[in-house]
């Protein structure tokens, strides 16, 4: 091989290595760029999910409050119903007592 031929081959090898390196770097850059885009999308999705989770937690707290208020109202209705039954029972006892007294007054006394 002559010196020129060797230099030419060397330049060709360097050019080929440079082309290969540039192609590899370009390929890696595309991958890195895609990873960056994916990471940004994931970050956005995470933020959106956090906001939605906070809203759901707030709404759930409101629902729990409504259910607790409803349960309290049902207990109060039950208390009123028990009170009404007690009053009704007392009224029946009074009505029966008054009826006996009335019937007793209508009967002639044996004197």
Q: Say how far apart CA 80 and CA 74 lie, in whole Å.
A: 10
Which ranges in the chain belong to alpha helices (H)?
3-106
Q: What angle do CA 34, 14, 27 make, to 5 degrees?
A: 10
* 54-107 confidence digits (pLDDT tens): 999 999 999 999 999 999 998 988 888 899 999 999 999 999 999 888 887 776
pLDDT given for residue 108 in this prediction: 62
Mean pLDDT of 41-62: 96
Q: Which 3 state secondary structure label does DSSP give 49?
A: helix
* 12-28 confidence digits (pLDDT tens): 888 888 888 888 888 87
Q: Which residue has the tokens 């009170």?
A: 83
Residue 109: DSSP 8-state: P
* Whole-structure pTM value: 0.49
């Amino acid at each position: 091989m002559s010196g020129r031929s060797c230099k030419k081959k060397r330049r060709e090898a360097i050019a080929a290595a440079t082309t290969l390196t540039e192609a590899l770097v370009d390929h890696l850059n595309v991958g890195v760029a895609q990873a960056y885009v994916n990471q940004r999308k994931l970050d956005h999705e995470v933020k959106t999910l956090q906001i939605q989770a906070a809203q759901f937690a707030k709404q759930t707290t409101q629902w729990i409050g409504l259910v607790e208020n409803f349960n309290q109202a049902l207990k109060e209705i039950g208390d009123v119903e028990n009170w009404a039954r007690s009053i009704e029972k007392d009224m029946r006892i009074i009505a029966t007592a008054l009826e006996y007294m009335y019937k007793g007054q209508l009967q002639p006394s044996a004197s």
